[in-house]
Structure 1
Amino acid sequence: MRTLLLAFLLTTPIPHLVAGKAHKKAAKDAFTVAKGHLPWPVQKGTILYHYGSNRIDDRVTFFSPGITISAEPGVAVCAVFDGEVSSVTIVDGKTVLILRHGSYLTSYGNLASVVVGKGDKVKKGTVIGQVADEADTDPGQLDFILLKNQKGLNPELWLTKKPRQKPGSKETSSSQI
């Protein structure tokens, strides 16, 4: 799913993703300033796959173009920044919503439903959809991707830092949010 979504985002010409210069510059500047302070797209979950190279076992590694967050099916997915809905589409049988923030895009994949449509303006924190039930996993998963000028960025560097686990607590390879 992640590879297909990235391929879609990088190769599909989507004219409505291009904004006017003044709007693009204002949104870019505000988005850039928000680095490290964006809210998480779901209130509670666990990061299953981080941006970049991930290892499943000793023989299987893969590149993730964003982060995959394990979350309860049906939980609200919210916009991380003010923007405009550029696309709502199906990729590999899953609903994907793309928000434009000037030269930045955020992609929210594996949604059960969406409550906004193409062209809608949304504010940070606005509910845009719900996490879908992942047929082969329990619970559901949200794929969250961040791009600037169609170049992938590590979303974890842009999102608000979550408190670390208390010393002595059991650490796992996944990260709680």
Structure 2
Amino acid sequence: MRAGRLILVLCAAALVAGLAGMAWFAARLYVEHRDNTTIAALAAGQDREVAPEDAPPVLFARLGFLTFRDRLDEAQPLLNRLAAGEDRPLAVAALYDMANARLRLAIDHLGINDIDPAIPLVRLAKEGYRRALTLDPGFWDAKYNLDIAMRLVRDFPQIETDGEEIPPEAAKRLWTDLPGLPKGLP
């Protein structure tokens, strides 16, 4: 009688564990389906809101949707979240995509001779390419695009002051920030 009762308890425990496992897998399947549906909708051009706690691939899809439409201010929090995450390849891709969007927008401004908003966009693009290259030093596309951005807006060394005031004549810029659009290949 005692052995029969032990078998019954073990069978009940196995049944409960099996049901709990099935419930967990069903919940994971639902979340994966919801994420894939959201990613597919964003890829198809439908605007879908995402939560900051969503999976990194969903955040990346939303980032791609926003950067393609030049909504960079909305995309920046997503970039920050992805860049701080543990998925390095996704962080590199996010940094690269945002830098490309900024560079593309800067070149559009330069195309209509609107130089003032182009300079900070190019500087931010260079920062994004550098951060991507820090995470993946062999990323050739980021190296190439950084080179293009470096040709658009030069980085010159700053005058070190050691706490002293800069004289007015030293504060004048010797070079312009924006030499012009590069023509052809290097």
TM-score range, shorter chain: under 0.3
More strand by share: 1
* TM-score, normalised by the number of residues in structure 1: 0.24
* TM-score, normalised by the number of residues in structure 2: 0.23
Q: Which has the higher contact order (CA 8 A, sep 6+)?
A: 1
More helix by share: 2
Structure exhibiting the larger radius of gyration computed from Cα positions: 2
